Chains A and B, each alone.
Chain A
């Protein structure tokens, strides 16, 4: 299953934000916490300094005197100030403490103590229970977290929204692709699309264009094929009707001949159409083909026809050729070329099948001394059902189209050329792979 980009992005970004938020929260909490403690230490120190100064003038102001002690205490922060004479140190707080900051454990509570010796020999002890200190520090540290905690979900929500809106064109694109009709897809519009997606859309559009072209070709072929089938069918239907009108058995016999010829013609046309469809669709297995042998077989096959037409059919072999190809497809090319050559070569003409090698590539040529084909027509005649104007031909118009399709299958090319010396046409197949 494919992952959803939108969900994945949302999930990853949200996790990253939450993780970062968590780290930031821990860091800011601990920083604020230690800052608050330092601040309280400073406070103890300042109270001690102020107390000494005030002690000189005997104006100590404190909210309340804590009971059972002769110090000053603040109920909120639980700060207690003790003035001790230098010589009369009580057992507690430990008189033997050096001046400075200490943490004491008295058994009942932990205290943070600052001891300072005054100039007159008096000692000032300012202390505070660590519980109270911690509570204050935690309170203030927690307060720093509030904006972060409010911001985090908002941030996650925003990210999800932004990702969704950024990906909306893609969702829109896929629905518009879904809505396309299969037989005539229209190119997708790349308006309002992010730059990164445009190459992708362009690639899809190029594919659609190629599909459109192919479909157009197929549509034209089907229309042409239907059109081409009309002629033999018309002939057949009229011939059959003529047979019915025949008055005598002799006439019936006489009229059967064209009917049979008509059936043969319809058969040939359908066979050629099937050949074309097969060469387009199938991927027949390739083997090593001995072209010299194949050429001799094909010439033997067409020799009776050539002799009946008084055409000299021959082979010209400059090198023995063996190529890697499908023998069926290769013989389809040669057969169609030979049939064409025989069809258009006049009585007493000459058709030669020529095997040669050119730059390490196998080349098979069919050379005739027929009327040839004008340069302007030499590409058009490869189109299915195309017939040259002003020719009264009986062919299906498919032979060369089949040859080209078969050549494409083998990775080779077919082309028509003028004969250098004398009139006539050269049909040339150039094999794609090495010999």
Chain B
């Protein structure tokens, strides 16, 4: 799961990046509004955390342009502007949620899970394809009778697959989900993680389609 963080305050940016990485997200961080828009054009992020008071281009303008460009990526506005008018404006401009500084990291993560879940078309907090279930809050996966706690990266990979059951993901796509820009992608990382998941939950949890990639089965 790859998140774009748009925040001009260096300390907040660094701290939130660490918090997101701890929660098994891949994080890319930009510090101004123009950079945010140009990065978002590529559509490689599953969610955006957007500050409003940004240099070069205001956060609301970033949001307006993003939605004008037809993107439906979930956006959580994080800002010190706490007036009701500001919140209404933010939501009307196309934000999916609104969080006022200072916020609790756990609340931020919960809201992030909620917007990503809704984006995947699922209202229930637990992801499932009928065979494997995954709890994004606790990182616990269950298959049949076995319940296992997944590592951050394992969770990240399974989460990506379970959000769109029946879809084949290439190695590059999976890597993109797991790693941020400045993180070095280890070779065989995807193979290694899939091996770990299969070992914990059973070999047939993730299907390998030769020459195409990996997938989890669509719910029956």
A241 to chain B: which residues have CB within 8 Å? Answer: 19, 104-106
A231 to chain B, nearest CB (A): 5
Q: Known interface pairs A231-B80, A241-B19, A258-B15. Does A394 touch B10 (Cβ–Cβ under 8 Å)?
A: yes
Interface membership of chain B positions 1-22, coded 1 if the CB is closer than 8 angstroms to chain A and 0 otherwise: 0000000111110111011001
B103 located at the interface, meaning its Cβ lies under 8 Å from any Cβ of chain A in the complex:
yes
B24 to chain A, nearest CB (A): 11
Closest to A231 in B: B9
Is the CB–CB distance between B18 and A233 below 8 Å? no
Is the CB–CB distance between B11 and A235 below 8 Å? yes
A56 to chain B: which residues have CB within 8 Å? Answer: none
Closest to A261 in B: B11
- A232–B11 Cα distance when bound, in Å, is 8
- A235–B22 Cα distance when bound, in Å, is 16
Binds B, one of A14-22, A75-83, A85-93, A385-393: A385-393
B101 located at the interface, meaning its Cβ lies under 8 Å from any Cβ of chain A in the complex:
yes
Interface membership of chain A positions 216-254, coded 1 if the CB is closer than 8 angstroms to chain B and 0 otherwise: 000000000001001111111111011001000000000
A222 to chain B, nearest CB (A): 14
Q: Known interface pairs A227-B80, A230-B80. Does A245 touch B19 (Cβ–Cβ under 8 Å)?
A: yes
A265 located at the interface, meaning its Cβ lies under 8 Å from any Cβ of chain B in the complex:
yes
Is the CB–CB distance between B15 and A239 below 8 Å? yes
- A230–B16 Cα distance when bound, in Å, is 15
Is the CB–CB distance between A233 and B8 below 8 Å? no
Q: Known interface pairs A241-B104, A258-B11. Does A390 touch B16 (Cβ–Cβ under 8 Å)?
A: no
A262 located at the interface, meaning its Cβ lies under 8 Å from any Cβ of chain B in the complex:
yes
Is the CB–CB distance between A231 and B19 below 8 Å? no
- A368–B91 Cα distance when bound, in Å, is 44
A278 located at the interface, meaning its Cβ lies under 8 Å from any Cβ of chain B in the complex:
no
Is the CB–CB distance between A389 and B55 below 8 Å? yes
B139 located at the interface, meaning its Cβ lies under 8 Å from any Cβ of chain A in the complex:
no
Is the CB–CB distance between B8 and A235 below 8 Å? no
Closest to A244 in B: B105
Is the CB–CB distance between B103 and A237 below 8 Å? yes
B31 located at the interface, meaning its Cβ lies under 8 Å from any Cβ of chain A in the complex:
yes
B104 to chain A: which residues have CB within 8 Å? Answer: 237, 241
A122 located at the interface, meaning its Cβ lies under 8 Å from any Cβ of chain B in the complex:
no
B153 to chain A, nearest CB (A): 14
B102 located at the interface, meaning its Cβ lies under 8 Å from any Cβ of chain A in the complex:
yes
Closest to A226 in B: B80
Is the CB–CB distance between B18 and A242 below 8 Å? yes
- A182–B38 Cα distance when bound, in Å, is 51
B199 located at the interface, meaning its Cβ lies under 8 Å from any Cβ of chain A in the complex:
no
- A232–B31 Cα distance when bound, in Å, is 17
Is the CB–CB distance between A238 and B56 below 8 Å? no
Is the CB–CB distance between A234 and B102 below 8 Å? yes
A164 located at the interface, meaning its Cβ lies under 8 Å from any Cβ of chain B in the complex:
no
| Residue from A236, A258, A389, A390 within 8 A of B14 (CB atoms) | A258
- A394–B31 Cα distance when bound, in Å, is 13
Is the CB–CB distance between B9 and A238 below 8 Å? no
Q: Which of A234, A235, A261 has the most chain B CB atoms closer than 10 A to its own CB?
A: A234
Q: Which of A227, A242, A394 has the most chain B CB atoms closer than 10 A to its own CB?
A: A242
Is the CB–CB distance between B8 and A392 below 8 Å? yes
Interface membership of chain B positions 100-139, coded 1 if the CB is closer than 8 angstroms to chain A and 0 otherwise: 0111111000000000000000000000000000000000
B15 to chain A: which residues have CB within 8 Å? Answer: 235, 238-239, 242, 258, 262
Q: Known interface pairs A389-B55, A392-B55. Does A230 touch B18 (Cβ–Cβ under 8 Å)?
A: no
Is the CB–CB distance between A238 and B31 below 8 Å? no
Is the CB–CB distance between B11 and A245 below 8 Å? no
A37 located at the interface, meaning its Cβ lies under 8 Å from any Cβ of chain B in the complex:
no
B31 to chain A: which residues have CB within 8 Å? Answer: 392
Q: Known interface pairs A235-B11, A258-B14, A390-B56. Does A230 touch B19 (Cβ–Cβ under 8 Å)?
A: no
B11 to chain A: which residues have CB within 8 Å? Answer: 231-232, 235, 239, 258, 261-262, 265
Please name the 6 residue pairs, one residue from A and one from B, whose CB atoms are nearest each other, closest first: A238-B15, A235-B11, A234-B102, A241-B105, A230-B80, A234-B101
Query: Could you write out 21 A-B pairs with CB less than 8 Å apart?
Result: A227-B81, A230-B102, A231-B9, A231-B12, A234-B80, A234-B103, A235-B9, A235-B15, A237-B102, A237-B105, A238-B16, A238-B19, A241-B19, A241-B104, A241-B106, A242-B18, A242-B22, A242-B105, A245-B19, A261-B11, A392-B31
Apart from A242-B22, A262-B15, what 4 extra A-B contacts exist at CB < 8 Å? A233-B102, A238-B18, A245-B22, A392-B8
